[in-house]
Amino acid sequence: MFLRETRFQRFVQVMQRADQLVATTALEDLFGQMLDLMVSAIEAEAGVLSLYDEDTQTLVVQAAIGLPGAQRLIAARGSASQGLTGAALRQGTALFVANALWDHQDWISSAAVALPLRTAYCLPLVSQGRPLGCVHAFNLPDTLSEDSEELALINLLGSRLANEIEKAQILAQARRRERRQQALLEIVSHLTTTLDRDELLNRIMSRACELLNVEATSIWLRDPEHDDLVLHIAAGSNRERIVAQRVPAGRGIIGHVVATGETVAVNDVSRDPRFYRQIDANSGFVTRSILCVPLKAPRIQLGDARGIAEERIIGGAQALNPRDGAGFAAEDIALFETLASQAATVIRLAQLYSEVSALSTRIIDAITGAIDLKDSYTRGHSQRVSDFSVAIAQELGLSSDKIYRVRIASKLHDVGKIRVPDRILKKRRRLTDSEFAQMRRHPEYGLEFLKENGLLELEVLRDSWTALSQHHERLDGRGYPKGLSGDQISLVGRIVAVADVFDAITSRRPYQPARSADEAIAILRSLAGIEFDGECVEALVRARAKGLIHTQEERAEREHAPKRRRSVRRRSAWMAG
């Protein structure tokens, strides 16, 4: 009776200790302490606790005690289907082996071979018929298999541990799903706030690295000119060493994915003949496992009778080497496919935006070029004024958005000259009063041109009208066409006014020769605060000192210099011959 009460008290103490551990111990420490409790409760010499990975059907060691080199076993991974382990998991019951040395198929028992093995006990950790892991105990009393009360105690401890493992897994999965959903929401929200393709793609691939817990991710795009795949974005390890890498069309796992449009996951690339080893050789990165998904640019309805941009594969994305050594789970594959879909959408929208932006820029260049061509003396004037205006805006510290608007608006500042008769624009003598009066209307003509063609409604040309209508206004009110003064003139108008006058003074005209940049600056400074904004004048001076502003003659000299050097080299070669 006394022995039974003593054993009962021991059971109670062990379970109380288990409850205390569960209540006060973090999960990463709970495995080791629960294993220690279980090993000591059954008077074993050593033990190993491992968790079951359903995707790879392997066991991953979480804790080991009493074995030589026990710490090296942590995170080791092996088969869950062979030997004592496989039998216990298949049957769902604990198994006792009186001679552990016979079990050569069980990799956990083999890992414990440094310990003189006698007996082994494997307790599967199961919840609702689903395996969660198992506990191995070594060199425990031979009588354990005959002691039903001791077995009941170890089963209770196993059930308690299995319950905690299941709760922890459910919580971890919920947190992982929450992180992934939050990341997707963040990426989608950024799609509406920026059109910077590389920033978005870097964000997506960095998030993929984090959420999939892999060593590296990358995006490969088709290069139609060379018919191969070129690395565009990389995140994670060795990203600096794999810049500009290329994979020949159809080569490698990534090439197969791009060619076929199917997703491929390979947990051991050394066994896959499709693996393209040259990238690792070039970069020093060691690829062990890979997940490749195609980048499918979505079907986009363009609107305005422009038709449809059909779906097409533009490249592929890959994730490399899960850090926990596991394979890619179905949930990982689904997430990466979603992220790749977002990346493909970003790339396609950026391409469409780039095409539209390039088209609009070329149209603007064509319009301003047509204006400049009407008068050979002012050829290149619009581009130079645009360059000078941008340099001034940069010196004033304007935002990139405002600088872009200044660039476009200043390039269009003389568009109204389209409606000025050629006989006035091309006149080689000074204009008469009536001719000058008509010339002075070109700011109004320019504004009318934009309005009539609906261009002022475009976001990119918002506020650009001030560059057209105010670049001849002066602070003292003596400018045209409205005679505005002081703060009535916008900052853009003031910037373009300074840039326009600087180019006018330093350019050749039929009625006056070009003056030097120093003379132009002296004139502008003498009129600063009277006709021109002093801060804009000084910003031009600083930009000039930095080499950002070159006059018409200086530009011509720079353009002709290479031709002269080539000519000199040809003459020297002829003379030498």
3-state SS, residue 430: coil
> What pLDDT was estimated at residue 388?
96
Residue 440 CB neighbours (<10 A): 15
CA proximity to 350, closest of 155, 512, 194: 194
Angle, alpha carbons 53-154-28 (nearest 5°): 45
Angle, alpha carbons 293-298-301 (nearest 5°): 180
Q: Which amino acid is at 241?
A: R
Mapped to the 3 state alphabet, what secondary structure does 370-386 carry? HHHHCCHHHCCHHHHHH
Tens of pLDDT, residues 336-389:
888 888 788 777 777 776 776 776 777 777 777 777 777 665 678 888 999 999
Mean predicted confidence (pLDDT) in 163-174: 71
> What pLDDT was estimated at residue 232?
77
Q: Which fold has domain 194-353?
A: Beta-Lactamase (3.30.450)
User: Does the fold of domain 374-563 match that of domain 2-173?
Assistant: no
- Quick one: 259 exposed, middle or buried, by C-beta within 10 A (0-12, 13-18, 19+)? middle
Of 51-60, 120-129, 185-194, minimum mean pLDDT range: 185-194
Query: How high is the mean pLDDT of the chain?
Result: 80
Looking at the structure, give the CATH architecture of the domain made up of residues 374-563: Orthogonal Bundle (1.10)
The model's confidence at residue 572, banded by pLDDT at 50, 70 and 90, is: very low
pTM for this prediction: 0.54
The model's confidence at residue 223, banded by pLDDT at 50, 70 and 90, is: confident
- For the chain, domain boundaries: 2-173, 194-353, 374-563
* CB proximity list for 476: less than 8 A, separation 6 or greater: 485, 530, 531
> What pLDDT was estimated at residue 93?
85
Tens of pLDDT, residues 477-513:
999 999 999 999 999 999 999 999 999 999 887 667 8
Of 16-30, 224-238, 296-310, 559-573, minimum mean pLDDT range: 559-573
Domain range 2-173, its CATH number among 3.30.450.40, 3.40.50.300, 3.40.50.10490, 3.40.190.150: 3.30.450.40
Pairwise CA distance, residues 505 & 85, whole Å: 91
pLDDT at 7 over 70: no
> What pLDDT was estimated at residue 30?
76
Q: Write out the DSSP string of 505-550.
A: HHS-BTTBPPPPHHHHHHHHHHTBTTTB-HHHHHHHHHHHHTT---
Which range, 139-143, 176-180, 371-375, is most confident?
139-143
Q: Is the peptide bond before 481 cis (omega within 30 degrees of 0)?
A: yes
Mean predicted confidence (pLDDT) in 61-72: 83
Q: Would you say 183 and 211 are in contact if contact means Cβ atoms under 8 Å apart?
A: yes
Pairwise CA distance, residues 366 & 460, whole Å: 17
Terminal CA-CA length for the chain: 120
